[in-house]
Amino acid sequence: MSTATPVQTGSHVIQNLPWKWGVQGKIFIIGGLGFMFDAWDVLLNAFIFPLLKDEWGLTPGQLGLLATMNIVGMAIGAIVLSSLADVYGRKKIFTYCLLAFSILSLLSAAAPNYEVFLLLRFLTGIGLGGTIPVDYAIVGEFTPAKVRGRVLTAMDAWWPVGGTICGLVAAFLTAQGIQNWRYQLLFMVLPALLVVWVRRGIPESPMYLQRRGREPEARAVIDDLIARTGTPPQQYTIDEPADVEKLSVTSAADKVRQLWAFSARRTFVSWMLFASVLFVYYGALIWLPSILRSDPQYSEYLAFMVTVGVTAVGIPAVLASAFLVDWFGRKPVIMGSAVLTAITLVLFAVYLDVPAAAKFWVLSFGIVIEFCIPAIYAYVSELYPTELRASGFGWASSMSRVSAAIVPLAFGAWLFPQLGYVGTFIFATGFLVVSAVLMMVLTPETKGKEIH
């Protein structure tokens, strides 16, 4: 007696297609470019703040408020825009986030005074804040399960690429004698607008379409993926649709409740991982130029180039991490790299007065932190189902923005005056290690598992 082969679901088909650079790889590249501009914009503060201070006579408090408002905007954008992506679709928000960021950055370059610039940088942060959770959601939902960990981890390679380009542009303009922060913003906006145009050609996520009961559109996208990857035509059923919700303040609050109801452990660990790893990364990277410039053994140019080096060495580290998460699993890579991050950053502080040793340890930090961050991004994006994925990642991402927003105050006013550089970095990296330990105990490994 023969047994009929069960018909697969659309989600199962998508996650078992072969990976093709001309198909899923195109979405990976276009999605990653948005992530690149996130890094470019965040690290831009380190290079334009001295120029803003000179032009408008800003106080340290005004500069700190500028950094904080930009990051607070990103936190709001991560929450609001990721929720919009779960309700109204990935593609629209995927495009509109970067469009809003580009237009507002262009307006920022023409700001006549500090107050207008402060408002525009806050609004720019909102537009940019949605890029990471929405980009990860759409890339993950197009990627086959067997390479998803590798692909989502490799997404983070766009961060050091963006940071490195930002530093190189700043160094180039400085070398040309162009001490104008407006030009640095314009250098960032022009390629961003090009990426906005390219994003229009990306299809809507078929997983989202299925969950919204839009069967004809979902089948059209899935059938196109099957044909373009060279897979034989096959029968499949469409996943059951989820309840369609209207977006409101009440529904946004309910989304948070849904995340914690789905899994309090996963949500708690996700928030802790994001908050701790970006607290360390932003704290070190934003403070590196100030730390090095305060030491007579480092010139201003060398301080900037060391910062660029920290981001540049992270590129091969991200690519290596992309393979390690599929070989060893997400959790071992996060745990191991968290410990190494703590060791290297503390040793940098210990050997700050020995430039050769300090540069070695800070570049080592740049490598190991980029094993950790992309693995966390990939891991968290796999912990939630389709209807919660963008908002789950978005809320976790917003925790990183919150922690980054308090970095100027935490490092400058609380930790460093009391603990010095060594004690400050022990405290910051200890936060990360504790978060990784909680992950090892409380949440499951996602290596090789399908998402739904």
241 assigned to some structural domain = yes
Distance of CA 142 to the CA centre of its chain: 18
Question: How many helices, marked H, and strands, marked E, lie in the chain?
Answer: 20, 2
- Mean pLDDT score across all residues of the chain: 85
Segments forming the whole domain that contains residue 259: 8-442
336 assigned to some structural domain = yes
Distance of CA 99 to the CA centre of its chain: 18
Taking alpha carbons only, the member of 443, 440, 436, 407 closest to residue 341 is 436
452 assigned to some structural domain = no
67 assigned to some structural domain = yes
50 assigned to some structural domain = yes
> What single-letter DSSP state applies at residue 448?
T
CA distance 98 to 193: 8
Tell me what percent of the chain is helix, strand and coil, each rounded to the nearest 5.
80, 0, 20
By residue count, the chain amounts to 452
Read off the pTM. Answer: 0.76
CA distance 70 to 108: 12
CATH of residue 336's domain is: 1.20.1250.20
CA distance 247 to 77: 15
Residue 237 pairs with which residues in a beta bridge? 9
448 assigned to some structural domain = no
410 assigned to some structural domain = yes
pLDDT in tens, 407-442: 766 776 677 778 878 898 899 899 999 999 999 999
pLDDT in tens, 240-268: 786 655 555 565 667 788 889 999 999 99
Give DSSP secondary structure letters for 182-214. Answer: HHHHHHHHHHHHHHHHHHTTSPPPHHHHHHTT-
108 assigned to some structural domain = yes
Q: Which two tokens stand for residue 318?
A: 């991200």
Confidence of residue 1 (pLDDT cuts 50, 70, 90): very low
Q: Which of 205-214, 237-246, 338-347, 382-391 has the highest mean pLDDT?
A: 338-347
Taking alpha carbons only, the member of 436, 426, 431 closest to residue 336 is 436
pLDDT in tens, 154-204: 887 888 888 888 888 888 887 788 888 999 999 999 899 988 888 888 899
Domain count, the chain: 1
